[in-house]
DNA sequence: TCCGGGTTGTTTAATATTAAACAAATGGCG
DNA sequence: CGCCATTTGTTTAATATTAAACAACCCGGA
């Protein structure tokens, strides 16, 4: 057994919060992903569909910023969504570099059908928390990582 | 603009907490990963090294449970750590299916050098929270996802 | 003793993801 | 106008990840 690094109280508390945060989000993410895969959809694909549904048409750069994935990845996720007929690429007449990604009827139908199911799965994941705890958790998470 | 699903108050609060939780953990994870890549190490590799350092030798199944990754993935992560000389596989005389993964001197040296740096990066990420908030966050995250 | 179900790890095939190099387009400034 | 830095998206090469099929092994009960 190695001798371990002894941190300050602040370091110990931070590490504990970090580990618990990561573990919670990874567990939830893994379980939700498994359920999504029953619909043959990935987390990233769902994130794109949701952004388009709730926020309307956007270009790929904006979508990438929303789901925190690289530009190259977005190209592939969109390609796969196009293959399934859920979204389409349109030329942007005002900027020929950019494209406009929008939901197809098919995509809209899918998200309208699946979003309530997904939301239900999420509600189940958080069922151990009271409403007040939910708010506290949201507020704390919002504060985290704001340091520059 | 599509008409949107109107949820109950509980659903709205849950969704908000979920989004903030995911966003916080993904942002932190992305930033930490980028720093780790300067040391040519991945998050999973670091997770394994840390588990071995703090908890001692383990077999691959146990390591997989710790970092929440699939068995097949663990095989590859360990392979890569072996290539770098940070860990080694030993036969378990008591169970010939299992292997014992342990840190090499090299691996121990690395984790002892890099862990404080990593911890410092984490502390920076959480610097916007008071110590009390850290504890609250940890406690709430621990409660989440416990539903079955 | 032997069989069968469960455990541990590996392999395979398919996808996901990233960084880096690249191409095309924009926009500002000389 | 013409150039150059920036922006947007794609491609490429490398790695990560998973589920599923597989092989070797363990163990308990018939």
Instruction: Set out the domains of chain A in order of their start, with CATH numbers.
Output: 9-138 (1.10.10.10)
Most distant CA pair in chain A: distance in Å?
65
Residues 17-36 of B with CB under 8 A from A: 17-18, 20-31
Contact A77, A48 (CB under 8 A): yes
The beta-carbon neighbor of B25 closest among A25, A112, A116 is A25
In whole angstroms, give the CA distance from residue A90 to residue A99: 6
pLDDT digits (tens, 9 = 90+) for B99-147: 999 999 999 999 999 999 999 999 999 999 999 999 999 999 999 977 6
Percent of chain B with pLDDT over 90: 91
Listed as ranges, the nucleotides of chain D within 7 A of a protein C-beta are 7-13, 15-21, 23-27
pLDDT digits (tens, 9 = 90+) for A36-86: 999 999 999 999 999 999 999 999 999 999 999 999 999 999 999 999 999
- Please give the angle made by the CA atoms of B31, B33 and B34, to the nearest 5 degrees: 65
**Strand residue runs (E) in A45-98:** 87-91
């Amino acid at each position: 057994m190695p001798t371990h690094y002894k941190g300050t109280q602040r370091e110990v508390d931070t590490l504990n919060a970090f580990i618990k945060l990561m573990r919670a989000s990874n567990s939830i993410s893994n379980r939700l992903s498994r359920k999504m895969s029953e619909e043959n959809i990935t987390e990233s694909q769902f994130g794109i569909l949701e952004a388009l549904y709730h926020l309307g048409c956007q270009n790929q750069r904006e979508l990438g910023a929303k789901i925190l994935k690289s530009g190259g990845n977005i190209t592939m996720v969109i390609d796969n969504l196009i293959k399934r007929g859920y979204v389409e690429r349109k030329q942007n007449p005002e900027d020929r570099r950019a494209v406009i990604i929008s939901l197809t009827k098919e995509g809209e139908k899918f998200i309208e059908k699946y979003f309530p199911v997904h939301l239900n799965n999420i509600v189940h994941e958080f069922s151990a928390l009271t409403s007040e705890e939910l708010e506290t958790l949201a507020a704390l998470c919002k504060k985290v990582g704001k340091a520059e």
